[in-house]
Structure 1
């Protein structure tokens, strides 16, 4: 067995932040990475650059916003689900699930919900309910599983620098917090809080009012591990230094380490499979307008 590192990181635009992502991957060498807010269509995902860095990938993109991806060092994730069940009409790219290095990984980008009240907040709660329903099938499935991502929920007032400044924000609303508590009640362990019960462990600092410089942060990126994986948990933390880089995301990578099996644990050299070919789909050509002129005979 080996020690594996799994991280979640809201990249906030993968093409714009690609140099930062590659620098962090080279320095931190995580074995599994969950990315959120790609803000790119599938064809624009930097698969070649990530393969050159040693990572296979699955991704579920969307133009201008949303988008999630799972990376695996020295391997390629085996997809098990794309999108949450429960709403066939939901077109937002917010959930991707795969088997990676012997662990079932759910990568999620929970809706922000602002402004609230309103339809965006209603969608946030409905999406959260669908996540809770699906998570119940993973929690006690008898296999190690983790739900990692940007939950857009500050679980308690201890997880924010000053709750008074955010009382009307969707991230702190009691309905969202209650759903996060319901999720934990299934048997999931909040790994970061379990390892650091007495520290705020912020993961997000917005770009306004020098929040990063003042360490005025929030904890909204969470890694929940099920009862099968929890006994193998070794450590958890936040790579805060990434938030201080130039041109970086307003989130910092958040990670756990645990005992598990990597692709090369058998001692053999692992050859990454060929990269998938993504062919952009051309938009349909507009139909030619029919002429209103009559032919003269």
Structure 2
């Protein structure tokens, strides 16, 4: 059996970047893809184009904002849920979970939290607490699970080109980082950091001050592995070439490769 490649990609608007997505799928052929920030109503999601490219898909859209999807090459992913438990009044589309190719995948788009302090930052922390609760149950299940997505957290100062100009940003706040560390403390493995223990790896470069051209990036897209998957990790990386395309998302696809589960 071939290795399993799982990717996460904040596409920042699927309608305008569908050609780029299809080009990347054809070139890199990941087995499972987690998409975030679709910015499309549920009935406007281009499912037919994605299926024509050879991928089954489940998704939950939201007009203008948010939106998440899971793609699986050559099969239909089996959806488990399309919302994060813990708040029946939360209408933001930020979490979807499905089984595919022998793995349970949680695709998440954690709230940005800016400006902080304020209600958006409090929502970020509350959402994180719900994720912590749900993730504990997934980890304890013993199933092979990958939690992949845009976490909107820079785990350490090593994960950003220069923290000084971002000190007030919600992505670097001690509360945000503490939540991420609590998640890892459950037993999850940060796959990218595990594969590159001493190398600065970025997944996001904003559109300002030539940050892409100067490689002034951040690592905020993470793939966390449940117990047992760490020893199956054989490769990881960032498809930087996608970020270099015209009208690209400010994120690049980030991926891992696992031995057959």
The residue number in structure 2 matching 1:151 is 151
**TM-score, scaled relative to structure 2:** 0.99
Q: CA deviation at 1:260?
A: 2.1
- Cα pair 1:237 1:254 within 8 Å, conserved: yes
Partner Cα separation in structure 2 for residue 80 and residue 51 of structure 1:
20
Comparing 40-49 with 4-13, greater Cα deviation is found at: 40-49
Distance of 2:226 and 2:168 partners within structure 1:
32
Distance 1:232 1:139 in 2: 16
Which residue of 1 is the match for residue 110 of structure 2? 110
Quick one: distance in 2 between partners of 1:229 and 1:143? 10
Aligned residues: 261
- 1:76 paired residue number: 76
Aligned partners of 2:260 and 2:111: how far apart in 1? Answer: 31
Q: List aligned pairs for 1:112-151, cutoff 5 A.
A: 112-151=112-151
**Higher Rg:** 1
Task: Name 2:33's counterpart in structure 1.
Answer: 33
Are positions 1:208 and 2:208 aligned together?
A: yes
Structure 1 segment 1-297 matched on structure 2, within 5 A:
1-260=1-260
Deviation, 1:199, is: 1.1
CA–CA separation in structure 1 for the residues paired with 2:18 and 2:254: 17
Please, which moves more after superposition, 221-230 or 169-178?
221-230
Unaligned 5+ residue runs, structure 2? none
Q: How far apart, CA to CA, are the structure 1 residues paired with 2:173 and 2:247?
A: 31
- TM-fit CA distance, 1:180: 0.1
After TM superposition, the score normalised by the length of structure 1 is 0.87
Question: Is the CA contact (8 Å cut-off) linking 1:140 and 1:226 kept in structure 2?
Answer: no
CA distance in 2, matches of 1:80, 1:43: 20
Question: After superposition, what is the alpha-carbon deviation per residue over 1:161-190, rounded to whole angstroms, capped at 9, x for unaligned?
Answer: 000010000000000000000000000000
Residue deviations 1:56-99 (CA, integer Å, cap 9, x gap): 10000000010000000000110111111110000000000000
Q: After the TM superposition, list the runs of 4 or more consecutive aligned residues in structure 1 that deviate by more than 4 angstroms.
A: none
Once residues 163 and 230 of structure 2 are traced to their aligned partners in structure 1, the CA distance between those partners, rounded to angstroms, is 30
CA shift at 1:233, angstroms? 1.2
User: In 1, distance between residues paired with 2:239 and 2:213?
Assistant: 16
Preserved contact between residue 56 and residue 71 of structure 1 (Cα < 8 Å): yes
Quote the Cα distance in structure 2 between the aligned partners of 1:48 and 1:109. Answer: 23
Q: Please identify which structure carries the higher helix content.
A: 2
Whole-angstrom distance in 1 between the partners of 2:127 and 2:213: 33
